[in-house]
Amino acid sequence: MAAMASKAAAATVSLDLAPRPYPAATASTRRARPATPAAASCSLRARGRDRRSAVVVAAAAAAAPAKAGAEEVVLQPIKEISGVVKLPGSKSLSNRILLLSALAEGTTVVDNLLNSEDVHYMLGALKTLGLSVEADKAAKRAVVVGCGGKFPVEKDAKEEVQLFLGNAGTAMRPLTAAVTAAGGNATYVLDGVPRMRERPIGDLVVGLKQLGADVDCFLGTDCPPVRVKGIGGLPGGKVSY
């Protein structure tokens, strides 16, 4: 992940979640130990040099005696494998960077953002919190204008702010802490699908309470939904479990 920031007061930060591609990997067959009739022998060896990696694969197989009428599968030796693989972005990193971008000052551009339900719910929650978020699924990019730690929605919130997060644990836990720490005049309810209501979050809630926050799992299950009253924010204190 590479990041570049300008020195201007309202900085624009560019983040790329894509791992740097490795050079093309090659694979060649090597003489292997005799395989049993019902098994194949496969060995994989990786070596690194100057931050590059190569993979050598050796495989051999022997077919078991064919039964009458059974289909026969013939495995041909692999002579060479080459190409470039671009890995998708991480779900965990994608959601955490989106939230950090929202809490920061200035504009953040996130590239290679994973297209997943968790990320979808995080993007929706940030918009509900009043942030300017532009997401391009095809380009795997999001542009987030940060709020500097205070979510815009709290200025005009007259009712509870509902954040529906599906089954996105990578959105539920970080957002619970974030809206608590942000403070303000709003009350937030973070909820999800029935499965989310079975996922424990009590330890986080207990820790936030010990830091002076007004937060609770109001169904008494130590699972979502979670209600956060932002007034007072996160005064601080000592946390023990």
The pLDDT assigned to 156 comes to: 81
The pLDDT assigned to 67 comes to: 63
Can you give the pLDDT of all 241 residues of the chain as single tens digits? 434 333 344 557 677 776 655 454 444 444 444 444 443 333 333 333 343 333 333 333 344 455 667 788 888 888 888 888 888 889 999 999 999 999 999 999 999 999 999 999 999 999 999 999 999 999 999 999 999 999 999 888 788 999 999 999 999 999 999 999 998 889 999 999 999 999 999 999 999 999 999 999 999 999 999 999 988 788 888 998 8
Q: What is the largest CA-CA distance in the chain?
A: 78
The two structure tokens encoding residue 124 = 């929706």
Neighbouring C-beta atoms of residue 27, cutoff 10 Å: 17
Q: Cβ neighbours of residue 90 under 8 Å, at least 6 residues apart?
A: 17, 114
The pLDDT assigned to 234 comes to: 87
Q: Cβ neighbours of residue 113 under 8 Å, at least 6 residues apart?
A: 17, 89, 94, 98, 119, 135, 140, 141, 142
The pLDDT assigned to 65 comes to: 56
The pLDDT assigned to 35 comes to: 44
The pLDDT assigned to 10 comes to: 53
The pLDDT assigned to 232 comes to: 77
- Pairing type for strands 187-191 and 226-229 reads antiparallel
CA distance 119 to 133: 12
